[in-house]
Structure 1
């Protein structure tokens, strides 16, 4: 009987699943492959470098967008193309530029519409 080989993933995939910016991870993480067990271990008991990255960044675009309450497309429309640190995200929130306010309003409308559609689809048909 052959031994089952462990499922592995590229560092970019693992970084995405961990919600961190790949280029900010340690070199040994970037250069290796990550098994499913290793990923689970990193999620269950994150090492200090992972906790620090999640706390201070730099953060990948999906995390930046989520922390700002806008879409990834909204980030691009606002001219944010690079990863941001937690400090930079907080500064953006404090400044609340016009584009961020618009994108937040757009995102709120999108969410409202999604709820309306879901409720419409959940209604029993007569």
Structure 2
């Protein structure tokens, strides 16, 4: 029996690749991606994918991660549009009040999560 090829929508593949679907080439957006094709894109990204990952525009999860805040923190700051690497860098340099506040919130959340995990596993928190 032949192996059935698993495919995914371009939106799902873009999410897994960490790029904004609207910024991908039309042939990528309009097609479907097999698991093998996704693996190949991750292992040896074409120039368009390297460029998107480097310069953006980036989807919210990537923007949040690069700024060190949560996706909810972006929403609270009214950052709803994709940002480029240059825009993210400018925000990091400017250090607006919302960014400082949201980074502190995320850091506290991560400390609390680590404390709970340590308690549940019986290890002392770091």
TM-score (norm 2): 0.95
Structure 2 Cα separation of the partners of residues 21 and 61 of structure 1: 9
TM-score (norm 1): 0.95
Q: Aligned residue pairs: how many?
A: 123
Hey, what does 2:77 align to over in structure 1? 78
Hey, what does 2:42 align to over in structure 1? 43
What pairs up with 1:18-57 in 2 under 5 angstroms? 18-57=17-56
Q: Structure 1 stretches (4+) deviating beyond 6 angstroms?
A: none
What pairs up with 1:1-126 in 2 under 5 angstroms? 1=1, 3-123=2-122
1:66-118 deviation digits (Å, cap 9, x = unpaired) = 00000000000011000000000000111111111110000010000011101
Please state whether the residue corresponding to 1:37 is helix, strand or coil: helix
Alpha-carbon RMSD across the aligned residues, in angstroms, is 0.9
Structure 2 Cα separation of the partners of residues 101 and 79 of structure 1: 15
Structure 1 Cα separation of the partners of residues 19 and 120 of structure 2: 35
Q: CA deviation at 1:5?
A: 1.9
